Amino acid sequence: MSAEDILTQPPPPPELRAAYGADPNQFLEVRVPEGRGPHPVVLNIHGGYWRAKYDLAHAGHLCAALRLAGVATFNVEYRRVGNEGGGWPGTFADIRSAYRFIRQPNFKFPLDLKRLAVMGHSAGGQLALCLAAHETSLQQVISLAGVVNLRKAFDLHLSNDAVVDFLGGKPSEVPEHYHEADPAELKIPHARQWVVHGAADDVVPPAFSREYAELKKKTGETVQLVEIAGAGHFDVIDPRSEAFKKQVTTTVLSAVA
């Protein structure tokens, strides 16, 4: 089986589905470890180039694996391009709403919200870092193979100009959207950032994370680049891969320590 098979394999079910809004796409899948806790928490944002054809199901595998490692996970679904209200700014508004929702005492589970990290894969990496820029209470953020430079994504026409669909136009047409959404343009001085990328990624080039880390370090932000030799785009979210078992799990546990 290849790592890309993770997109079609059914994940272990969550303990709970919780709505953070009225739209059918505004919900969280909750997985909590056994034991007394309180448990550290990860809010996970799935990828799929912000498009409605990709949902949160495939991310259930990594959330289930983190649960076994002792981390409570909230796998967030959100409105995407193709859903009513999806795209910028609706997609990001959902991410902010989900983050604020889990920080309230809504759940009876033993959670330690002082050890909270937000993590996103691919397009979810952009959303995670963007959230950290706009929510100063967020102190730990992880990008897995993230689309962390939206102007570069436009220049390379990644996934048939997915960023144009997401932001509603080209940089010359909606420059304010790129400024509001692009992690490479945003300031995140208050949060520790991890940018994890497989060196063999052929979906989002590894240079995205390398250049992002270099840029942010020059501005004084705290960024750790974790580049994984031989790993592809989906290895970083596949619990069966060595990349996930070693580098990704270690990174998450460091973030919520």
Q: What is the pLDDT of residue 171?
A: 98
**Closest by alpha carbon to 146, among 169, 119, 165, 167?**
119
Q: What is the pLDDT of residue 64?
A: 98
Task: Provide the CATH number for the domain around residue 163.
Answer: 3.40.50.1820
**Closest by alpha carbon to 162, among 198, 122, 199?**
122
| H-helix or E-strand spanning residue 136 | none
**Closest by alpha carbon to 246, among 231, 256, 257?**
231
Mapping DSSP to helix (H, G, I), strand (E, B) and coil, where does residue 223 land? strand
Cα–Cα distance between 57 and 68 in angstroms, integer? 18
Arithmetic mean of pLDDT over the chain? 96
The 10s digit of each residue's pLDDT in 136-191 is 999 999 999 999 999 999 999 999 999 999 999 999 999 999 999 999 999 999 99
Give the confidence band of 3 by pLDDT, cuts at 50, 70, 90: low
Query: Angle formed by the axes of helices 123-134 and 90-102, to 10°?
Result: 70
Q: What is the pLDDT of residue 255?
A: 98
Length of the chain: 257
**Token pair for 248:** 């990704």
Better pLDDT: 29 or 8: 29
Residue ranges of the alpha helices (H) in the chain? 60-68, 90-102, 123-134, 150-155, 162-167, 175-181, 207-218, 242-243, 249-255
In the chain, % of residues over pLDDT 90: 93
Can you tell me the mean pLDDT for 192-204? Answer: 98
The 10s digit of each residue's pLDDT in 86-113 is 999 999 999 999 999 999 877 889 999 9
**Token pair for 5:** 């098979």
Cα–Cα distance between 27 and 142 in angstroms, integer? 21
The 10s digit of each residue's pLDDT in 61-94 is 999 999 999 999 999 999 999 999 999 999 999 9
Question: CB under 8 Å to 62, separation ≥6 — which residues?
Answer: 44, 237, 238, 239, 244, 248
**Token pair for 147:** 């689309």
Residue with tokens 């996103």, as numbered in its chain: 120
Our count of domains for the chain comes to 1
Cα–Cα distance between 237 and 245 in angstroms, integer? 10
Domain that holds residue 131: 3-255
Phi then psi for residue 95, to 5 deg, are -60, -45
